[in-house]
């Protein structure tokens, strides 16, 4: 079952989420049923890593108990079954994001997916120079005079690979600046993105600001410039309906561990026509057609980018996670998390000495809030909250340039998910209200 193909009537037929339903959902997550420092755990760090429901844990366990074998490599019964569930998982994820089966590639995480694109593009220049591969590679190759555009709010995973691509190819890296409230300066975007832009890469939702970026507006600018459009969907895929075809992006990445799945599994979406001509990133077994002692010929996507033994059990578990989210309803999850996010921002803004990053209360955001407590370091804030059983994130959240732009080195971030209640948020707010007094700030 997929988010894309779920009938709108079914979504409307489901009631809005409330605390009673969330408490039932929590029963599916064993790790949440524990005490931390003598108090019930309030887990508000899902923006970093989400927890796993029993159905996901059992899906991975069942694979190892019943079907553990190498995929695509054997004619025996276990190998056939392993291959079937592995490829069924690919179809499930393709449906989940509105992609084609051949356009859905397994990676270890979103970071690997972004590096895959980056290195494939730099290899395109090498292949084109050697007259190797499809003639369309010349259009994808970057060199001096070309530009790569990102935004000032990017996670390092969607910044450093492009820095390195610019270094390898001689292209120039540019960025779209932000306003003081964290929103993108779209007036500047229209001038930064231009005829020299070959790649436009940006986050769908900021892991620090909670902002949901105007994907269509940015994509239109990229299309007008003839650029490849790359979407970081790590903070959107777990929380709101995602259809890569409707968004009209060329590539998109997501990480399983942020959407109820295990660590070590991610997804890269790419347009079929691009994937089939891009050179591979990793090479070896399982992604070739013919090999001689001098050269190799490569399979089309997705196997073209899946060298070696794959993350089989993790892929199966990710499919179970996608089914869990689909059955709960991504529209409903997004609405509930938006309510929790607004509750956090309203409460934080009312606490003296607390500065909230991103949109002010009443403006759209995903269910997270990063904040600074005047006179108290973020790490001290995090430890104080942990002493009260509340798990949050501290640091620069892999977004140093963004923090520097806002005049900060670190913040505390609370991020909610479908298993958090309004009581969780209220306990968090009550604890934050006591931080400055405790540290005599």
Site of tokens 């938006």: 338
Quick check: helix, strand or coil at residue 342?
Answer: helix
Residue 41 backbone phi and psi in degrees, to 5: -65, 130
Instruction: Write out the catalytic residue numbers.
Output: 398
Residue 22 pLDDT: 98
pLDDT tens-digit series, residues 53-112 = 999 999 999 999 999 999 987 889 999 999 999 999 999 999 999 999 999 999 999 999
Residue 141 pLDDT: 93
Q: Residues with Cβ < 8 Å from 432, sequence gap 6 or more?
A: 347, 348, 351, 354, 371, 373, 381, 385
Nearest to 398 by CA among 161, 240, 195: 161
Structure tokens at 213: 């970026």
| 210 DSSP β-pair partners | none
Element (H, E) at 38: none
Determine the CATH number of domain 8-52+329-438. 3.90.1150.10
Structure tokens at 91: 């179809």
Cross-sheet strand order for the sheet of 197-203:
104-107, 266-270, 251-255, 228-232, 197-203, 147-151, 172-176
Residue 4 pLDDT: 36
Integer Cα distance of 94 and 72 in angstroms: 19
- Sites in the chain below the pLDDT cut of 70: 1-13
For the chain, give every domain's residue range: 8-52+329-438, 60-326
Ramachandran sector of residue 65 (left: φ over 0; alpha: ψ -120 to 50; beta: rest): alpha
C-alpha distance from residue 387 to each of 289, 360, 380 (Å): 57, 28, 11
Please give the CATH topology (third level) of the domain spanning 60-326: 3.40.640
C-alpha distance from residue 270 to each of 103, 116, 329 (Å): 5, 11, 25
């Amino acid at each position: 079952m997929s988010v894309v193909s779920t009938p709108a009537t079914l979504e409307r037929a489901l009631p809005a989420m409330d605390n009673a339903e969330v408490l039932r959902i929590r029963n599916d997550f064993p790790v949440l049923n524990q005490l931390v420092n003598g108090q019930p755990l309030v887990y508000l760090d899902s923006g970093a890593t989400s927890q796993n429901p029993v159905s996901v844990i059992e899906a991975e366990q069942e694979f190892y108990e019943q079907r553990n074998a190498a995929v695509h490599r054997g004619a025996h019964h276990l190998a056939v079954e392993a291959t079937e569930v592995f490829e069924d998982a690919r179809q499930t994820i393709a449906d989940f994001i509105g992609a084609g089966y051949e356009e859905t590639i397994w990676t270890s995480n979103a970071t690997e997916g972004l590096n895959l694109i980056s290195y494939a593009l730099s290899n395109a220049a090498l292949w084109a120079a050697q007259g190797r591969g499809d003639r369309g590679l010349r259009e994808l190759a970057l060199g001096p005079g070309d530009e790569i555009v990102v935004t000032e709010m990017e996670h390092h995973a969607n910044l450093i690979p492009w820095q390195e691509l610019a270094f390898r190819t001689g292209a120039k890296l540019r960025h779209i600046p932000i306003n003081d409230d964290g929103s993108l300066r779209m007036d500047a975007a229209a001038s930064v993105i231009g005829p020299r832009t070959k790649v436009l890469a940006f986050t769908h939702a900021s892991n620090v600001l909670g902002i949901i970026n105007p994907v269509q507006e940015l994509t239109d600018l990229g299309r007008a410039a003839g650029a490849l459009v790359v979407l970081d969907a790590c903070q959107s895929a777990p929380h709101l309906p995602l259809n890569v075809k409707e968004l009209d992006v060329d590539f998109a990445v997501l990480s399983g561990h942020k959407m109820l799945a295990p660590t070590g599994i991610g997804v890269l979406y790419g347009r079929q026509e691009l994937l089939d001509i891009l050179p591979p990133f990793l090479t070896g077994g399982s992604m070739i057609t013919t090999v001689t002692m001098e050269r190799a010929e490569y399979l089309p996507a997705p196997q073209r980018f899946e060298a070696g033994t794959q993350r089989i059990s993790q892929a199966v578990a990710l499919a179970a996670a996608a089914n869990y989210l689909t059955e709960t309803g991504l529209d409903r999850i997004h609405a509930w998390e938006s309510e929790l996010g607004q509750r956090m921002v309203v409460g934080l803004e009312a606490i003296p000495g607390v500065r909230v990053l991103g949109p002010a209360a009443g403006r759209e955001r995903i269910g997270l809030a990063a904040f600074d407590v005047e006179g108290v370091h973020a790490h001290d804030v995090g430890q104080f909250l942990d002493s009260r059983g509340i798990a949050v994130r501290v640091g620069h959240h892999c977004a140093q340039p963004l923090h520097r732009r806002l005049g900060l080195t670190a913040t505390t971030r609370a991020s909610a998910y479908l298993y958090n209640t309004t009581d969780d948020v209220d306990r968090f707010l009550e604890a934050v209200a006591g931080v400055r007094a405790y540290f005599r700030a």
